[in-house]
Amino acid sequence: MAQIEGIVHHVKAAQAASATAATRPVRVCLLSLADESFVIDLRYVREVFEVTSITPVPGAPAMLSGVANLRGTVMPIADLRSALGLPIWGASAKYAVVIQQGVQQIGVLVDKVPELRDLLPDEYVTATAQSPEGAHPFVTSILKLAGRMGSLIEVPALLSYVGGRINDRERRASG
């Protein structure tokens, strides 16, 4: 009987911890692209830097603006506006946010220096359909941000999407 009570106590403690984690705020980086708001889980953000120059890479997919030198490291730079169906206007972005998962990393151009925020789980609404063709496979949720809406960018899906575009371009060039 004592064993069963111990197991029940352990299960209840695990359920309570899970419920607490579900209400705990998530730290995010708030990005601005073409005056639209997007967030990335802060765990994936390595740094923000001012872009002084971007070197174009011939044959690269349209969403890759080129590469930048970040303290001796060649960093691919992506402009997600076209991939997100946003207008491309005005001067090019002055800042890039370096996002990283494992060994994969990419600089994403943003309009201004990002903000850091804590978001609660009830501020997320699942994005059931972005478009008929699924044009935004790396945007998974819509967010309520102080009277405006924003979108959650899933970093693993974004890196997979960008990698797929690069691989598609390489296959077309060699075939």
* CB of 162 closer than 8 Å to CB of 103: no
Residues counted in the chain: 175
Q: Which two tokens stand for residue 25?
A: 């705020």
More confident residue, 16 or 23: 23
Rounded Cα–Cα distance for residues 157 and 62 (Å): 18
User: Structural domain boundaries of the chain?
Assistant: 31-174
| Domain 31-174: which CATH number of 1.10.10.10, 3.40.50.720, 2.40.50.180, 3.40.1160.10 | 2.40.50.180
- In this predicted structure, the answer to whether residue 164 has a pLDDT above a threshold of 80 is no
Helices (H), the chain: 2-23, 155-174
Q: What is the 3-state secondary structure (H, E, C) of 1-15?
A: CHHHHHHHHHHHHHH
> pLDDT tens, 52-64?
999 999 988 888 8
> pLDDT tens, 83-132?
888 887 766 778 999 999 988 899 999 988 888 989 887 777 765 544 44
Strand order through the sheet with 95-101: 45-50, 95-101, 104-110, 73-78, 64-70
Q: Which amino acid is at 165?
A: R
- Looking up tokens 């997919």, which residue turns up? 61
> pLDDT tens, 138-153?
887 777 777 778 888 8
**pTM confidence score:** 0.73
Rounded Cα–Cα distance for residues 66 and 134 (Å): 26
